[in-house]
Amino acid sequence: MDSASHFVVGVGLAGLAQLDPVVHSNPALSTVVIIGTIIGSQAPDFDTITRLKKQ
């Protein structure tokens, strides 16, 4: 998958996490979950950065 697809999956997972009452009721936790899922969904593409540095 490309980076855009990974981003969409991360946003989708963050949206699903909002269904949990604990996450939905705590704004700080909600923000952390959104940021964590989006960064985590980009993790498979982290090797791109190292490939670009080696060139």
Q: What is the pLDDT of residue 55?
A: 60
Q: Is the whole model's pTM more than 0.75, yes or no?
A: no
Q: What is the pLDDT of residue 36?
A: 92
Q: Is the pLDDT of residue 53 over 90?
A: no
Q: Is the pLDDT of residue 54 over 70?
A: no
Angstrom distance (rounded) from CA 26 to CA 31: 9
Q: What is the pLDDT of residue 3?
A: 77
Identify the CA nearest to 17 among candidates 41, 42, 50, 51.
41
- The 10s digit of each residue's pLDDT in 11-28 is 999 999 999 999 999 999
Angstrom distance (rounded) from CA 45 to CA 19: 28
